[in-house]
Amino acid sequence: MLAFSSFHLIAIGALVTLMVLGAVFFAAARSGWMRNGYFSLPSVVLIVLGLFILFQGLGSGITLAVVGIHVENHPIAALTINGLSEITILMAGAVLISKVARQNLFAVFRLEGIRETPLAAYVLAVPIMLMAQIGGSAFSTLFEHFWKFFPDFYRALDTYETASDTAMQGLVTANGPMDFLLILLFVAIVPALAEETLFRGFAQTNIERSGQHHTRPYVALFVASLLFAMVHGSLFKLPGLFVLGLTLGWLTYRTNNLFAGGLAHALNNGFIVAALYFSPEQISVKSNTNLVGATGLSGAESLIALAVILPLMALFLILFNRVTANLQARGNAERALQKRLAPPITFPAEDINIENPPTEYE
């Protein structure tokens, strides 16, 4: 029987990544890099993955140069470098690319609906996000149980995921009030701003507005959420992160307001940081800053949790949809696209005899 190791997983992951990047690059080259003034779907995938690879490479390189390989001895310094890298590359990088492409930054980064968004939408977004986190954790637990049917592969995955989660938990566990505030900044607030800017802003908007004849909000929601889940580098947590991405994307789409989902994202991250600080013994080692780690529940307990959470979440989403039903900014993308695609209005030229133009007295 073939035995898998962490090295094998890394090699397989690198090979699959290269194959995906090659296929996406080919698709982008054939279909065109931009349409309607916005980046096409393959172009968005390449840009997002490129920015994330650059972020990981630069952040890791600076961390190794500054604190060495034992980052657990300097958690605040490591988190600070990671947070600044997120702002510089993921957030500022996405804005710079849009600026160079001469896009409307107000539209790309979903700021058109700020004035319209009612307070009730912000209030409802918080429990919706928390329920998505719980439901996502249950989905991730079930997904992890599925891989147990492949013991060798599961053992290699579990070794990698447990080591990653343990290291991350050590970084986000505060040893005092000042540590807590800094971790809250660089784990809750900064990632929320950077990731919402890149995924719900740049990626989701460009995919939505680059449709051929109409906008494609649901395609954009699916692809941006999948990218959000994939770049976190955790197979076990992939379903839960995808659920979180879908939830954040829906909150943003319904309001056309990046801060509706961004606020919920930051608060959700903050709850985990606070829980690790005030009750660390209650948090599983696998409930790291991804927020959708396996919770230690059995498969049956996860199904019961989903049976409770999903109907409740559906009810809150219905309420959210009602309070955002009349927002005009949500239709801005489709209106802008139809205006761009509409044929120019022409006026018939007057039938004038050039050879015998009318005189002043005729």
pLDDT for residue 276: 77
Across the strands, what pairs with 38?
Answer: 35
pLDDT for residue 283: 54
Task: Domain ranges for the chain, please list them.
Answer: 108-325
Helix (H) or strand (E) holding 24, with range, is: helix 6-31
pLDDT for residue 210: 93
pLDDT for residue 299: 81
Query: 222-258: buried (b, 16+ CB within 10 Å) or exposed (e) per residue?
Result: bbbbbbbbbbbebbbbbbbbbbbbbbbbbbbbbbbbb
pLDDT for residue 100: 95
pLDDT for residue 295: 56
Cα separation, 293 vs 296, whole angstroms: 9
pLDDT along the chain (362 residues), means of 10: 51 62 65 87 92 90 84 82 93 96 95 94 94 93 90 84 77 78 88 94 96 93 95 89 96 95 89 77 49 64 93 97 95 91 69 56 49
The answer to whether the beta carbons of residues 9 and 191 sit under 8 Å apart is no
What residues have CB less than 8 Å from 241, skipping those under 6 apart?
A: 136, 140, 228, 229, 232, 234, 290, 292
Instruction: Give the side-chain half-sphere CA count within 13 A for 139.
Output: 19
